[in-house]
Amino acid sequence: MTHETATGNADYYLDITSDICPMTFVKTKLLIERMSSGEIAEVRLGAGEPLENVPRSVVEQGDQVLCLTADPDHPGIHVLRLLKR
């Protein structure tokens, strides 16, 4: 997993900052299932379990985490960019 600044446009956006596990990955997985191979999604998630579990689960199901960064304007919020394989 690379930690770098998220840049560029995504094909899909999802905000799961108000959700708790396991719904955070359920919503992310449903989004990935709608995506086509090669598309990029940007997912906003909170610290704690979502930050630990969602990126790991994305990789475990065979997709790629492009970057994971802290949102400098919103403490405790992170931005995950993923690539559907």
Q: Which residues are annotated as catalytic?
A: 21
**Rounded Cα distance, 65 and 15, in Å:** 16
Distance CA 7, CA 56 (A): 21
**First CA to last CA distance, the chain:** 15
For residues 45 and 2, give the distance between their C-alpha atoms in angstroms, rounded to a whole number.
Answer: 17
